[in-house]
Amino acid sequence: MWQTKMLKLSFALIIIIDGVQQPDISYWADILRCNQFAEWVEHGYTHSKDKRSKKKTRDSQVNITAYCKPVYVNEKVILLN
């Protein structure tokens, strides 16, 4: 008999720079936390209390896009919080 791999739902942080998807992908347990990091990467925040975070309209860095997408990963993959 073959074994069934156990999968768990996670959220992959995808980063694209100058149109090229970066090979390093982090996997998150919580979509809200993943989205928070995606926003920080895309807008260039260096600290959670960055002064730019108080602006009503946020400028993004040139040619950097970050987003999270749901994916299933092997149960042995460590998820970030």
Calculate the average pLDDT of the chain.
Answer: 86
pLDDT tens digits for 50-74? 655 555 445 656 789 999 999 999 9
Spell out the SS3 assignment of the chain. CCCCCCEEEEEEEEEEECCEECCCCEEECCHHHHHHHHHHHHHCCCCCCCHHHHCCCCCCCCCEEEEEEEEEEECCCCCEC
User: What pLDDT score was predicted for residue 52?
Assistant: 55
pLDDT tens digits for 33-42? 999 999 999 9
Nearest-angstrom CA–CA distance, 68 and 31: 7
